[in-house]
Amino acid sequence: MHPMLTIAIRAARDAGNVIVKAYGDPSKTKVEQKGTNDFVTNVEKEAEAAIIATIKKAYPEHTIIAKDSGATTGADTDYQWIIDPLNGHINFIKGIPHFAVSIALHVKGKAEVAVIFDAIGDEIFSACRGKGAQLNGYRLRAGSAKDLSGTVLATGFPHSMKHQQDTYMNIFGALFSECADIRAAGCPALNLAYLAAGRIDSLWSMGQKPWETAAGNLIATESGAIVTDFAGGHDFFKSGNSVAAAPRVLKDMLAKIRPNLTESLAK
């Protein structure tokens, strides 16, 4: 196993232990509101600290970009760990068992290692660039649907981009008319992991933060899926607007999405 993947898995399990323990005793979870529709808990802060401690012990000179504590620039900026300690934290707050730890390593701007850990389900999705994606050590392959007919899609409602809700709902309607069903389960990292595992056939999202999708993007692509922005380009990590699917389904997705985009989203 890639040594940095080993550390990523260890860090994810350390965070998962914090999360599972807290999930079993909701009275110990304290919720703070950071802004409109933006919350943070003491649990994710503790989980993030556990991840950082594990990474720093192994690689003290690496840079870390974390959801809550921000960027900690190390002596070696070529190696950047991108961390979301509790992706799907609203589900956690509400007692819904659908959330995950997300850890990615970028080397000179390219994703090299990724781990998504569903601590409740004890599922570790992982990938190394060029080595494929795995679930608990078994190889993953994205689904092989040829078009949108009969597919199950996933999405996330754009709670941070409500000014785009009309556009979003137009896209939703265009896709829903062609597919079998759509899921909005509240955990972007697991959406991408489930795409890699063939549990869903495609997904699209608006305004996602880098730490929400950094690990999932690599796991999805290493499973054979393709990730693009709404224009079919490669700006999805910066814009936060993405579409992911097997190649043939992606073509259908983009054909339905593009006519509904505003000028700002079409770039």
**pLDDT at 56 exceeding the cut of 90:** yes
In a domain, 145, yes or no: no
In 143-251, DSSP assigns E strands to 152-156, 181-183, 202-205, 226-228, 242-245
**17, 135: one domain:** yes
User: Can you give the CATH number for the domain in which 62 is found?
Assistant: 3.30.540.10
Q: 216 and 249 share a domain? A: yes
Q: Per the annotation, does 190 bind a ligand? A: no
- With b for 16 or more beta-carbon neighbours within 10 A and e for fewer, the 160-183 pattern comes to bbeebeebbebbbebbbebbeebe
Same domain, 67 and 159: no
- Is 251 within the bounds of a domain? yes
Contact criterion met (CB below 8 Å) for 196 and 143: no
In a domain, 47, yes or no: yes
Predicted TM-score (pTM) of the model is 0.94
Q: Is the pLDDT of residue 263 over 90?
A: no
Q: What is the pLDDT of residue 96?
A: 95
Number of domains present in the structure of the chain: 2
Task: Determine whether the annotation assigns residue 84 to a binding site.
Answer: yes
Any domain includes 267:
no
Residues in the chain: 267
Q: Identify the residue whose tokens are 């078009």.
A: 147
Closest CA to 266 of 239, 230, 232, 242: 230
Q: Which two tokens stand for residue 193?
A: 């992991």
Residues 19 and 133 in one domain: yes
Summarised one tens digit per residue, pLDDT across range 109-134 is 999 999 999 999 999 999 999 999 99
Write the CB contacts of 24 (distance below 8 Å, at least 6 apart in sequence): none
CATH of the domain at 237: 3.40.190.80
Q: Is residue 146 part of a domain?
A: no
Could you tell me if residue 265 is inside a domain? no
Among 87, 113, 139, the domain-final residue is 139
Q: Are residues 111 and 228 in the same domain?
A: no
Q: Are residues 104 and 173 in the same domain?
A: no
Domain that holds residue 186: 152-260
- Same-domain check for residues 132 and 164: no
Same domain, 69 and 160: no
| Domain final position from 139, 168, 183 | 139
Of 110, 76, 68, residue with least CA distance to 214: 110
Judge if 128 and 175 occupy the same domain: no
Residues 18 and 102 in one domain: yes
- Domain presence at residue 92: yes
Segment 230-241 shows an average pLDDT of 89
- Do 210 and 241 sit in the same domain of this protein? yes
Summarised one tens digit per residue, pLDDT across range 21-49 is 999 888 888 887 765 656 778 999 999 99
**68 or 115, greater pLDDT:** 115
Is 57 among the domain residues? yes
The mean pLDDT of 220-237, rounded to a whole number, is: 93
Pair 123, 7 in one domain = yes
Structure tokens at 199: 């549990």
